[in-house]
Chains A and B, each alone.
Chain A
Amino acid sequence: MFGQGLLKGLEITWGRMLGKKQTVKYPFEKIEMFPRFHGRFQLDVDKCIACGLCANACPNKVIQMEKQKVDNKQYLTKYVMRIEYCLFCGLCVESCNKDALKFSSVIDMNQYRREWVRLTLVDRPAPESKKTPEEAPAETAKEQAAAGKAAPGKEG
């Protein structure tokens, strides 16, 4: 009969009006991300051997890194991700052999200016050569590494 579909539609919307709401009041309540979520990048500087595989894997050349040779070992001095070009495809994370580069579940990376989006994961001077048997320079390097991790670029 004509009109049945019309009434059925009204019935559905009426049921939905009284039913449960789906809204999540975002800034006040947040949904937890799944473990594999592609959020902000994390770099464990202690594990990183500055091999550059991630930079090569990136389709958009997002990762810019600088390294220095200290005592026959590559030392990472700068690791900048131009997040504004990032596709969040995860190829860099997948390419990392040492499990140093990872995704975190941080989602709020938005900034007011395009330049601020850039993510500086490591920015530190290279330690002095360890040819002398003192441990002190290595200690400072570690401290600086921790500082670099704590404050990745402009805080978002």
Chain B
Amino acid sequence: MKTQTYYLNLGPQHPSTHGVFRIILELDGETVVKATPVPGYLHRGIEKLAEARTYTQVIPYTDRMDYLAAMLMNWGYVKAVEDLMGVEVPERAEYIRVIVGELSRIASHMIATGAYGADIGALTAFTYTFRDREYVLDLLEMVSGSRMTFSYFRVGGVAEDLPEEFYPAVKKFLAELPGMCDEYDGLITGNEIFQARTKHVGIIPPEVGINYSLSGPTLRGSGVNYDLRKVRPYSVYDRFDFDVPLGKNGDCFDRFRIRIEEMRQSGRIIQQALEQMPDGPIQAKVPKVIKPPVGDAYAEIESSKGVYGCYVVSDGSPKPYRVHFRRPSFINLGYLGKLCEGWKIADVVAILGSIDIVLGEVDC
């Protein structure tokens, strides 16, 4: 029998492409023959905009990349500028950065977990994670004044010290965090239907993951132990005791499960950071008008989606000559086309969700 393939345009407006992402699917019945990802619908030209702003004024724009983990986006940029200027960040500021950064990571992973549940069809998981994320956002709002786009980091430190009411609130949250994770595990991870949908689906072999420069939970799901916080510790991460959860098969289920485990580990890191936190200044001595010397610097941090890098070139003026962001979501998408081949339409959604993209970051 002669059959014909047809094209299905998944997105840019689609409930489960996590924003305005588009995949052109060539389908044979429900089976994907070829998938062509088309990013770029949310491109705002942040890198170009940064060239017309002073070094401090770029910080609010970095928020708008991965708006689910905005603290981490601030961090990578600020770190690159600090490297460029050779500024030593005070210790207390580093601890504050770790605390808010890990809180932001928890918030981001909560969305990844809940949105993945919704992608598979369990809508209740989505509301549960969003409900719990509100606690994290409350904490970050106490600190920075905003709930999503914090702009809390400054070159050489952070904007303000942690407020008094933050400490009891964060302790309460940390006490509840394992219970929250257990609830997600019980509702989603342990569910047999969910496992049937995600286990052995969309397998990324470890060597392919490395070759495609994947990072974050997407890479660690394949069992590659590569977490910048461990392998190349920045800030004060070498002082904390935490595990890097790894997957075995590199399938959607592993990538999903790792995020819940990472939330627990982030909780441990925050706990230790709170105990070890010293007193002291929160801002290094940085001139009001930041004028780094001529040169360039590249800094990398482990964001919630993977390795987030920032490259800053200075020509000695108060504005950066060039800023480039290595956005993990975008690079993790590189293998999506091949990954989807041979799976069903529903699996495309599952695979895309397991990579956990944020369109603000993909299109920058």
Contacts and interface: CB of A to CB of B under 8 A. Distances in A.
Interface of A: 2-6, 8-9, 11-13, 16, 22, 34-38, 57-59, 87-91, 94, 103
B151 A34 contact: no
Given A3-B192, A9-B186, A87 B149 contact: yes
B60 interface: yes
B335 to A, nearest CB: 30
A5 B190 contact: yes
B41 interface: no
Given A37-B145, A89-B149, A5 B163 contact: no
16 contacts: A5-B195, A6-B191, A6-B192, A8-B191, A9-B187, A12-B183, A22-B134, A34-B141, A34-B145, A35-B163, A36-B141, A38-B145, A38-B146, A59-B61, A90-B145, A90-B151
Contacts of B57: 57-59, 91
Given A5-B195, A90-B151, A13 B60 contact: no
B143 interface: yes
Interface of B: 53, 56-61, 63, 124, 128, 131, 134, 138, 141-146, 149, 151, 159-160, 163, 165, 183, 186-188, 190-195
A9 B190 contact: yes
Contact of A36 (B124, B131, B134, B144): B144
B187 A12 contact: yes
B186 A12 contact: yes
A39 to B, nearest CB: 9
Contacts of A37: 141, 145
A145 B160 CA distance: 31
Nearest to A6: B192
Nearest to A4: B190
A34 B142 CA distance: 6
B151 A22 contact: no
Contacts of B142: 34, 36
Contacts of B60: 59, 87, 89, 91
A5 B192 CA distance: 6
Contacts of B190: 4-5, 8-9
Given A5-B194, A12-B187, 20 more contacts: A4-B190, A5-B186, A5-B191, A9-B186, A9-B190, A13-B124, A34-B141, A35-B163, A36-B142, A36-B144, A36-B160, A38-B145, A57-B57, A59-B53, A59-B57, A59-B61, A87-B63, A87-B149, A91-B56, A91-B59
